[in-house]
């Protein structure tokens, strides 16, 4: 993007380049939904398997999904989101991939 600026004293036109920073980020997120038929232990084990995360992180995700009804467990590329959801869906956990 270019901006034209008139200098007060000289009345000349100078061209300055200004940068616009756009944060594209990762447009895809994996959402895990709460359900009434899986135990916390089942969900925690599957989260560890899918995300390769710690037990504490998996517990945190499971608890948040239980309390709030859903939680975002991963943000990143679509291919990785698909891998994660396929592991979670092995035991019929309810997931969704959303984009911003």
For the chain, domains (ranges, CATH) are 23-99 (3.30.1390.10)
- In 1-100, alpha helices (H): 40-51, 55-68, 78-88
pTM: 0.74
69 sits in the region (left: phi over 0; alpha: psi -120 to 50; else beta) called left
Compare 9 and 62 and report the one with higher pLDDT.
62
pLDDT at 17 over 70: no
Q: Name which of 94, 18, 4 is nearest 73 in CA terms.
A: 94
Share of the chain above pLDDT 90, in %: 72
Q: Is the dihedral of CA 59, 65, 39, 84 positive or negative?
A: negative
């Amino acid at each position: 993007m270019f901006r034209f600026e008139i200098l007060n004293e000289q009345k000349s036109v100078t061209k300055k380049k200004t940068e616009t920073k756009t944060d594209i980020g990762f447009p895809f997120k994996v959402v895990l939904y709460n359900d009434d038929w899986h135990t916390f232990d089942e969900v925690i084990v599957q989260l560890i398997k899918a995300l390769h995360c710690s037990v504490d992180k998996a517990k945190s995700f499971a608890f948040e999904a239980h309390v709030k009804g859903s939680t975002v467990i991963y943000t990143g590329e679509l291919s990785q989101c698909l891998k994660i959801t396929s592991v979670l869906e092995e035991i019929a956990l309810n997931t969704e991939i959303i984009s911003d």
